[in-house]
Structure 1
Amino acid sequence: MSPHEAVQNTNIRRMAQNARTPSDHDALSKYFENAAKEMQTKADEQKKLLEHYEEKGYLYGRQAQDLKSHTAALLHKYEANVDENIRAAAAPRQMAIEQAKREFATREGQVVNAESRTHSSK
Structure 2
Amino acid sequence: MYHPQSGQCVQSNQHLVYLSDCQNWSRWSYDKNGGPIKLMDSTTPSCLSAAGDGLPVVFSEDCSGQQSVWALVSGSKFHIAAKDKQGSLLCLDWDSSSSGISIVTKKCLCLGNDGRDVPTCVENPQRQWFNFVPSNK
What range is the shorter-chain TM-score in? under 0.3
Higher strand share: 2
Q: TM-score normalised to the size of structure 2? A: 0.18
Higher helix share: 1
Structure with higher Rg: it is 1
